[in-house]
Amino acid sequence: MLMSSGDKAAKLYYAPGSFRVLRPGQHVFCAVSGEVIPLEDLRYWSAEHQEAYATPEIATRRLLGEA
């Protein structure tokens, strides 16, 4: 089965307040839950850990060392 580039995960560089696309794609995965996060919905990440998070609750737990 052939996959279009729209089916691939993007590779991002996370900076404070923004991110840069290193490899094009339509989504990333939450570092904790594994949930697919469409790039247009990506709001939570850690520049320090270079990870994306699906929800603010997951991000908070991860950054507090609880996840």
- In sequence order, what are the residues at sequence separation of 6 or more whose Cβ sits closer than 8 angstroms to the Cβ of residue 24? 5, 8, 10
What tens digit of pLDDT does each residue of 19-37 get? Answer: 999 999 999 999 999 999 9
Rounded CA gap, 5 and 31, in Å?
Answer: 21
Rounded CA gap, 33 and 38, in Å?
Answer: 14
Q: Span 41-47, mean pLDDT?
A: 97
Report the predicted TM-score, pTM, of the whole model to 2 decimal places.
0.86
